Amino acid sequence: MTDRDATESTSSFLSAWLAGGLLVVVGLQVFAAWQTRSVIDRMESTAVRLDHRMETTAARLEKAAIQTEQVARQVQALQTRVQRIQVVADDWEFLVDEVQKVARLQRELIKSLEDREGFDVGALPQPVDLDWTQPALHDAARVGAASIGIELTDTEVRVPARLLLKQGILEYFAVLKGGKEHEALVSLVGNLGPDDRRPKDFGIKLNNAIQALGVKRGRGIRFTPNGTRPAVGQTLYLFLEWEEAGEQVIVRAEDLVWDRMRDVQMPHDSWVFVGSSFVPGDEEGELLFAADLTAEAVATYSALNTIIDTTAPGAQDDTVFIVAGPRVPEGVDKVTFIIRTIDREPTRTFATPTGERDGE
């Protein structure tokens, strides 16, 4: 081999080696670029996921902050309500005891007086009965009733009320707000809020509205040497109305009361209007409406100062009447108490099997 051939051979070898090296370098650069792109893609994907998680977390934190603020406001409102309730609770037991004592003493006084020959409870000072059907008086009764949320129409009196008991013994079908609600089926609240005190004239405005339907005051239960005389007065027809499954339900008041001694519902048409009574106030010549003092509205256990009483058998025994539990609607709080002088058909009636009482 000549020197020239050797030189060319060496040159060709170096060229091939350099070309191979360049290919390797290019290949490594391509691989590195691919790896870099893969890393960048993964980082970008991770960044997107992190951004999403951060946005989700931020939204959750913001929602939690709002909920925390709402809870804080609710706790503050609850604390305020608890403080109000505590103030009322501090005086409630004393007030209940005093009212019960007054009612008991009044009942004993009237009984002792009626034991005397010739005494008539009607001789106690009472205001002159007015004809509340006269246009001016009727309008006054309507306006007075409306001021406490009671609606007076030409045919009925409608009182917003709250359902109280699902079972238990009843002394009252209805009481004025703040009365003996632990022994009543409904509380008559009108337009009063949960924390509102009952106006001092709530009972008399309700009484006037009933009289504006053309009803005259009767006479409450009396105690005489010859025995107890039941309440007497014009018959009233009482109903409860509420909304259930988008429909208005109307039932007779008696259908929600059970006579546990006879194991039947309270007989229909047994409510009578007595109109409570008036008792002397602290000022000379002052007369106070008794139902506004005792909060008695509709009695199942005859009471001296109730507005409406019952003549049903067992009315003089406070253990006879109980809630007809299965007939009381579940999940219903607000109802309307309806008073009528003319009967009407309810939208819901009940069969009268035995054993349908007190939640059985």
- Return averaged pLDDT per consecutive 10 residues of the chain, 360 residues in all: 63 68 69 72 73 74 74 70 53 46 50 44 61 94 97 97 95 97 97 95 97 94 80 96 94 97 94 93 84 96 94 93 94 96 96 51
End-to-end Cα distance, the chain: 124
- pLDDT at residue 126, as a whole number: 64
Cβ-proximal residues to 323 (8 Å cutoff; 6+ apart), any chain: 165, 166, 167, 168, 170, 185, 256, 257, 258, 357, 358, 359
Asked if 81 contacts 193 with a C-beta cutoff of 8 angstroms, the reply is no
Other Cβ atoms closer than 10 A to 102:
15
Asked if 220 contacts 302 with a C-beta cutoff of 8 angstroms, the reply is yes
- pLDDT at residue 130, as a whole number: 87
DSSP string, 215-271: PPP-B--EEETTEEE--B-EEEEEEEEEEETTEEEEEEGGGGEEETTTTEEPPSS-E
From CA 158, how far away is CA 246, in angstroms rounded?
20
Tell me the pTM: 0.65
- Find tokens 């005489």 and name the residue: 224
